[in-house]
Amino acid sequence: GAAAMAHGPGRCCCCCGETAAAAEGGSAAWGLYLRIDRQRLQCLNERREGSGAAVFRAWEERGDRARFVESDDDEELLFNVPFTGNVKLKGVMVMGEDDGTHPAEMRLFRNIPHMSFDDTAREPEQTFTLNRDPTGQLEYPTKIARFSNVYHLSIHFPKNFGAETTKIFYIGLKGEWTEAHRHEVTICNYEAAANPADHKLEQITPQTHFIS
């Protein structure tokens, strides 16, 4: 018992849990849902408002059948997913029912904020033919070169396996996140600070030439 006590229950929750999950390629790998700007997340043609956002959640909770999104007018769904920084997207997982409501195709678009169904006529960065995946076994790898600097991801599901509506329980996003750098702010401050120095340099320059 002493060894277990020394480790401390609090510490165990934090580190060991994460390390174990990362080792299994589990939750840590699928952690991009934490980097979604939820205030601006949109799901078009969702039957119940706000239900689309619920499918982006922790990998361990992917089997939660109580949270899902279902399409409304037809079988199409379109997600606009803005991130809080830049993402290198490496893989996507899509879980649905083992029936006709499962999406059959997925099209990914990069950095086109506020996409509408009209916009889906354009060429996607990548298209996937989906298999039914009721338990979260299948990962669809992206062409990473095309998804290396993504601040906004649109996911279009144009069709399913024959049902009138489409139902999705979980969408997993795998990849790396980096903070967005606000270069413009830095440059402004720098210029403001640098101006007086520039003028001094101009005055000193002739002398310097003369001495050398």
In a domain, 13, yes or no: no
Q: Tell me the residue range of the domain where 165 lies.
A: 27-179
Candidate from 26-30, 138-142, 192-196 with smallest mean pLDDT = 192-196
Q: Would residue 207 count as lying in a domain?
A: no
DSSP string, 81-148: EEEEEEEEEEEEEEE--SSTTSB-EEEEEES-TT--TGGGGSPPSEEEEPPP-SSS---EE--GGGGS
Residue 184 covered by a domain:
no
pLDDT for 69-97, tens place per residue? 999 999 999 999 999 999 999 999 999 99
d(CA 164, CA 74): 6
Q: Is residue 16 part of a domain?
A: no
Residues 83/88/90/96 CA torsion (nearest 10 deg):
10
CA distance 130 to 155: 13
In a domain, 22, yes or no: no
How many folded domains does the chain comprise? 1
**Residue 205 placed within a domain:** no
What's the whole-number mean pLDDT along residues 15-35?
61
Question: In the structure encoding, which two tokens stand for residue 139, read together?
Answer: 């990962």
Position 59 scores a pLDDT of 94
